[in-house]
Amino acid sequence: MDHMPDTTATRVLLAAPRGYCAGVDRAVIAVEKALELHGAPIYVRKEIVHNKYVVETLSERGAIFVNETDEVPEGARVVFSAHGVSPAVREGAAERNLLTIDATCPLVTKVHKEAVRFAKSEQTILLIGHEGHEEVEGTAGEAPEHTIIVNSPEEADTIEVPDPDNVVWLSQTTLSVDETMETVRRLRERFPNLQNPPSDDICYATQNRQVAVKKARSRM
C-alpha cells in the first residue's frame, strides 16, 4: 500500500524583534575590532553572548574565553563582556597589568552607578536578580555591604533589612518584567516606603522581546 503524503500544516510564528540586543551586539563588535587591531589572542572574561555559534566563530579567530582574569597572562588584552564586572574584578585586572577593553552594556553601567549613589546615601539596595549571574555579581560588587539579592517573589516575603524605611530596589536588566513587578509589589507590602529607581532597570530590548513573545502566544 502506498503511503499517503503527510499534508499536516505546521504554523511557525516568528517573534519580532528577536535575536540579541544592541548591548551584546556592541560587545561582539568590540571583540572583533580588538582581533582586527591587535591580532590574536584576545581574552574575553565570560562568554560574550550565550550563543554557541558566535562564541565558536570568535574562538576560531583567536578569542580565548576565560572565567576570571587570573586566567589571563600578565600584560595581555582582555574584554569585559556586556554583563559588566565588579570593582574587584577591575582591580584584579590592574594588578596583573592587563589591557582592558570594557564592553559593558551602557544600561548595565547605569544600574552600577545607581548602586554606588544609593550606597553613598546609606540606603539598603534590594537587588532583584539571579544570584550567581555575572551581571548581578557585578552590580552587587559595587556596594556589597549595602546590597541584598532578591531571587524571586517568594524570597521577597522573607528577607530582612536594617532599616525598613530606607530601602530602594534595583534589578538585573534581563529579567521577566512581570516577575520583577510581582517581586516589587510583595516587597512594597513589607516595606511601604520602598523607593523606586529613577528609571526602569530592565533593558528595553528585553521588554520588547517579552511583549513580542506574548503576542505570538496569543495567536496560537
Report, as residue numbers or ranges, the catalytic residues: 135
Q: Which residue, among 20, 23, 75, has the nearest Cα to 52 in the 3D structure?
A: 20
**Beta pairing partners, 128:** 150, 171
What is the phi/psi pair of residue 116, to 5°? -65, -45
Grid coordinates belonging to 40: 590574536
- Percent helix, strand and coil across the chain, each rounded to 5? 45, 15, 40
Query: How many angstroms separate the CA atoms of 157 and 85, rounded?
Result: 29
Q: What angle do CA 48, 51, 55 make, to 5 degrees?
A: 55
